[in-house]
Amino acid sequence: MDNMQFDLLALLPELVVLGMAMFILLLDLFILPQNRSMIYGLSQFTLFASAFFTFKTHTPAVGFAFSHMFIDDTLSDVIKLMMYLSTSLILVYTRKYLQDRNLYRGEFYAMVLFGLLGMMIMVSGHNLLTIYIGLELLSLCLYSLVAFDRDNPKASESAMKYFVLGALASGMLLYGMSMLYGMTGSLDVSDIANNIMQQNKSPVLIMGLVFVVAGIAFKFGAVPFQMWVPDVYQGSPTPMTLLIGSVPKLAAYAMTVRLLVQGLHPLALDWQDMLVLMAVLSIIIGNFSAIVQTNLKRMLAYSTISNVGFIMFGMMSANANGFASSFFYIAAYVLMSISGFGIILLLSRKGFEADEINDLKGLNQRHPWYAFLMLIVMFSMAGIPPTVGFYAKFTVLQAAWQAGFTWQVVLAVLMATIGAFYYLNIVRKMYFDEAVDHAPLTAPLDMRLVLSVQTLALLGLGLFPEILLSVCGHSLLISLQ
Amino acid sequence: MMQADLTSISWLSLAVWLPVLSGVLVLLLGGDHKATLTRWLALTGSLVSFLVTVPLYTLFDVQDGFFQFEELLPWVPAFNMHYHLGIDGFSMPLVLLTSFTTVIVVLAGWEVITNHIAQYMAAFLIMSGIMIGVFTALDAILYYVFWEAMLIPMFLVIGIWGGPNRVYATIKFFLYTLLGSLLMLVAFIYLYHQTGSFELADYYLLPLSLQAQIYIFIAFFMAFAVKIPMWPVHTWLPDAHVEAPTGGSVVLAAIALKLGGYSFLRFAMPIAPDAAHYFSTAMIVLSLIAVVYIALVALVQKDMKKLIAYSSISHMGFVTLGFFMFGQLALEGAMVQMISHGFISSAMFLSVGVLYDRVHSREISAYGGVVNKMPVFAAFAVLFAMANSGLPGTSGFVGEFMVILAAVKFNFWVAFFAATTLIFGAAYTLWMTKRVFFGNVTNHHVSELSDLNKREFLILSILAVLVIGFGVYPQALTEVMQATSAEFLKHMAISKLPVTGY
């Protein structure tokens, strides 16, 4: 019975999010539309409260719940804290957009919180089924959020694409998991690892691995499972693009650590090869395709694919240094992409999406400060110091080099130069071209303030990367022990 | 007692961060509607930043061939990176050149730049701090951060205030430089995994096989040769120089090119000395091609800025030539050439700027007989043209002469080709001067010209004094670098190949 108490303590943040999400869903039925900001406030409060509980209940020791189906370790706590922060930023940035388009409804917030819950479960999943349940909860929320603006045919189309391909990927993941279960007789991540070590590698095991890796690659959007990314990014309303493109990457990373590192490390030599291929292809295809885009969101989608390639560069090293560097990369990337989409949201207004590259023309004349912020984001994505993006690229490249991937590193460096071209193109439009659109900014003060602080943090972390580097490195090392 | 107090100040940090801070201040307080305030603020910032670099000269110990004014703080312990600054006889004159040029650039943009004046001034101030950072960093990643960060303001300067073809020029400039730098980053990653640190001193002592040294040297070469620039990776420079505003051209020519030359001395050569010897013939040939061929290219230019740009490449050929002959005279000649070229090319670009501000054309054919309308200016311009062609008594002569002298001892043919520059340099510079300044007034634009105003006179006379001053008394320069170049050559003479092995 003592055990049961501990169980619930480990789950406290999840319970808070779950309870609040249901409460918000109910409350929304009873309040007047003009009091909707209460829902917004409650959602932010929920994030704060679960951050508080995650922080308070944190111990260096690993906690389990529900007979090892749920794990509460340092890595999961750190990732969850990052998720709360990112989600909170997203809520700040999306509010105005939703209000302008009559999408400011309680369901949005409930869905975001349920999606967050799904991600938290993925992060803490120590059992194939837990991970899968978390993933499905997240995916269902994301599908419906993409279709949230139901009168928008483009959004419905991309929701459909996302759903069909996403369901396919989930199916593959589940199929792979079933093979792993068949060969090892267990769904528990550590049991699977122990079991594989005691047996010879069989083709079925490798087949299972292939499907699991494919499922992971789909969630990341790595080549050759990248097809959905550009369409969904472009077709979704910008707040949903922001949601899809940022926090779930953290969850996907945690899922990769649980499945590939903690569960399947005896097969590291096999999945390493797959990751190498996907990493290299993602960087090449992502960067080349991004060059020709005229739509900002689509360009950022291809840029995501190339960034995922860099993330895989760290993972393919298949050692702690590599995974720590990927973690740092993702943390930095999530911050960058939230800033980037945040600026798009800031510039958009009723009837104007600001999602074409040409919409940024002459931004320096109109709003030098926001042009400067976008400049930071773009140089950070291009990996130019002194921004955090440089350290992100640096850490994964040094990890890959250490693991002996010499020519891949040189290739990645060449591709980074190509990548710089399309980021520079944005800067060029903002600074060198004449403004075409002269409408004033209508964003509320809190959004401007938070966006400024967050984007300057990209610069701050670029000058002093030590804090984030050590947080990422230590939490991973503690959890892998 | 006083002396002790002065040396305890972190002069280098001040030299790096004061201009950056004043740049940020100009951005925050300045603006197009308060242009006067912005200009004075920028001038004050640049003057103060220049003043804090003066003690680097006065307190410099010329006997010491190693690093001075060192500052060492932990920066990123996770990767063993340090905030490590220091200067020696090579970098100290370049630091002063940088902070001095910034003052000139601020003055040169005084009333010429009218749109986004705060951003213009801030970009140059921030760039100045960053470039001083490049010259003083002794930690590889700190150096790399400064090296790359410099691209951002330069990209904006060319792109916002440049000429008609500026977008092409600035993107070409950025990508060319970035590609080279990223390969250098790969070299640093390799060295990091060999030594476990980013300390330059550790890299100097690291034994490396010839194979490894060759790869490292090539990676560095890609970064530095683009920056200098050496033939055949020079093609970004004429574009960038021509399209950049006057201030941008001045900074590019006077300082940015020196970043490449300096980095050869600081990184490529001492880290991979055997590879440097291995490639020395190739490097000398490339340098000579730059000296001779690019000088011929300069001869046929119709655009004044382009001509000076090619002349810069040709003069920088002397610098690399001097480096790779591995002799004290050659090395010091190359260093003197770098500093002197900083003054002369600034002066040349500023002179073109003076004409461009009045007529808005850089074509040589758009001028003729300028001397009739602008006698004072013509006097300055002819002086700088003489300096550019290496007339004795100007600083342009000293460096070239030292390198040629060293080359005669090294190899007759190298000296022969290097010496042709005295003819070609005179040919293209003086021919341009003749066509622009002398003869009859050719068109109404020229007949409407007015002579230098006080500001322009001030800038050009400061530069004229320096050009003649260093021409007459070059010891002021050579004396500070003597100990350092002796140490450098001692280091270069010792092979880093592992003693055991094949």
Residue-wise pLDDT for A419-451, tens only, equals: 888 998 899 888 888 888 777 887 888 888 999
> In this structure, are residues B80 and B197 in contact, taking their beta carbons and an 8 Å threshold?
yes
Q: Are strands B68-76 and A70-72 parallel, antiparallel or unpaired?
A: unpaired
Q: How far is B351 from chain A (nearest CA, A)?
A: 26
Q: Are strands B81-87 and B68-76 parallel, antiparallel or unpaired?
A: antiparallel
> In this structure, are residues A360 and A429 in contact, taking their beta carbons and an 8 Å threshold?
yes
Cα B71 to Cα B7, B37, B62, B67, B83: the distances in Å are: 12, 35, 19, 10, 7
Distance (Å, rounded) from C-alpha B67 to C-alpha B62?
Answer: 11
Cα B171 to Cα A34, B137, B241: the distances in Å are: 50, 27, 13
CB within 8 A of B246, min separation 6: which ones? B108, B109, B112, B349, B350, B352, B353, B356, B357
Q: What is the pLDDT of residues B43-63, one digit of tens each?
A: 898 989 898 888 888 888 888
B 178-217 residues inside an 8 A Cβ radius of A: 178-179, 182-183, 185-186, 189-190, 192-193
Distance (Å, rounded) from C-alpha B183 to C-alpha B180?
Answer: 5
Q: How far is B408 from chain A (nearest CA, A)?
A: 41
Residue among B79, B152, B156 minimizing CB distance to A384? B152
The number of CA neighbours under 13 Å toward the Cβ of A89 is 28
Given an 8 Å threshold on Cβ–Cβ distance, is A394 in contact with B185? yes
> In this structure, are residues A310 and A396 in contact, taking their beta carbons and an 8 Å threshold?
yes
Q: How far is A247 from chain B (nearest CA, A)?
A: 25
Torsion of CA B103, B107, B109, B110, to 10 degrees: 140
Q: Bridge partners of A70?
A: A65, A125
Residue appearing with tokens 């939490």? A475
Which residues in chain A touch residue B148, judged by CB atoms under 8 angstroms apart? Answer: 384-385, 390
Tokens standing for residue A165: 């391909």
Residue A452: what pLDDT?
92
Residue among B149, B171, B192 minimizing CB distance to A424? B171
Q: Where are the alpha helices (DSSP H) in A292-405?
A: 296-315, 320-347, 363-366, 368-382, 388-402
Tokens standing for residue B432: 């341009």
Q: What is the pLDDT of residues B89-118, one digit of tens each?
A: 888 899 999 999 999 888 888 877 778 888
Chain B residue nearest residue A426, CA to CA: B171
Report the run of H or E that residue B182 belongs to, with start and end.
helix B166-195
> In this structure, are residues A242 and A353 in contact, taking their beta carbons and an 8 Å threshold?
no
Answer whether B300 touches A (CB < 8 Å). no
Distance (Å, rounded) from C-alpha A464 to C-alpha A444?
Answer: 30
> In this structure, are residues B136 and B85 in contact, taking their beta carbons and an 8 Å threshold?
yes
Report the run of H or E that residue A70 belongs to, with start and end.
strand A70-72
Distance (Å, rounded) from C-alpha A476 to C-alpha A320?
Answer: 8
Given an 8 Å threshold on Cβ–Cβ distance, is A410 in contact with B183? yes
Chain B residue nearest residue A404, CA to CA: B190
Q: Helix, strand or coil for residue B85?
A: strand
Task: Supply the pTM of this predicted model.
Answer: 0.90
Q: How far is CA B345 from the centre of its chain?
A: 10
Distance (Å, rounded) from C-alpha A38 to C-alpha B229?
Answer: 62
Query: What is the sign of the dihedral through the CA atoms of B176, B181, B186 and B191?
Result: positive
Tokens standing for residue B154: 């330069």
Q: Helix, strand or coil for residue A226?
A: coil
Given an 8 Å threshold on Cβ–Cβ distance, is A431 in contact with B156? yes
Which residues in chain A touch residue B171, judged by CB atoms under 8 angstroms apart? Answer: 421, 424-425, 428
Residue among B76, B141, B175 minimizing CB distance to A421? B175
Q: Helix, strand or coil for residue A352?
A: strand
Q: How far is B325 from chain A (nearest CA, A)?
A: 31
Residue B1: what pLDDT?
43
Distance (Å, rounded) from C-alpha B242 to C-alpha B260?
Answer: 20
For chain A, the residue count is 481
Which residues in chain A touch residue B155, judged by CB atoms under 8 angstroms apart? Answer: 424, 427
Interface of A with B (CB under 8 A): 364, 368, 375, 379, 384-386, 390, 394, 397-398, 401-402, 409-410, 413-414, 416-417, 420-421, 424-425, 427-428, 431-432, 464-466, 469-470, 473
Residue among B77, B116, B145 minimizing CB distance to A386? B145
Which residues in chain A touch residue B116, judged by CB atoms under 8 angstroms apart? Answer: 364
Residue among A375, A401, A466 minimizing CB distance to B77? A466
Q: How far is CA A30 from the centre of its chain?
A: 33
Chain B residue nearest residue A432, CA to CA: B160
Report the run of H or E that residue B72 belongs to, with start and end.
strand B68-76
Exposed (0-12), middle (13-18) or buried (19+): which is B346, by Cβ within 10 Å?
A: buried
Distance (Å, rounded) from C-alpha A183 to C-alpha A203?
Answer: 10
**Mean pLDDT, to the nearest integer, of A325-349?**
92
Chain A residue nearest residue B147, CA to CA: A385
Amino acid sitting at position B493: A
> In this structure, are residues B166 and B202 in contact, taking their beta carbons and an 8 Å threshold?
no
Exposed (0-12), middle (13-18) or buried (19+): which is B307, by Cβ within 10 Å?
A: buried
Cα B108 to Cα A164, B39, B119, B347, B349: the distances in Å are: 62, 11, 15, 11, 10
Q: How far is B234 from chain A (nearest CA, A)?
A: 18
Residue among A417, A425, A469 minimizing CB distance to B76? A469
pLDDT of chain B, 502 residues: tens digit per residue: 445 577 677 888 888 898 999 988 888 887 778 888 888 888 898 989 898 888 888 888 888 878 888 888 888 888 888 899 988 888 889 999 999 999 988 888 887 777 888 888 889 999 999 999 999 999 999 999 999 998 889 888 888 887 778 888 888 888 888 888 888 999 999 999 888 888 888 888 888 888 888 999 999 998 898 888 888 888 888 888 888 888 888 888 888 888 988 999 888 888 888 888 889 889 899 988 988 898 888 888 888 888 888 988 888 888 898 888 888 888 888 988 888 888 898 898 888 888 888 888 888 887 877 787 888 888 888 888 888 888 888 888 888 888 888 888 888 888 888 888 888 888 888 888 888 888 777 777 777 777 778 888 888 888 899 888 888 888 888 888 888 888 888 888 887 777 654 4
Q: Helix, strand or coil for residue B199?
A: strand
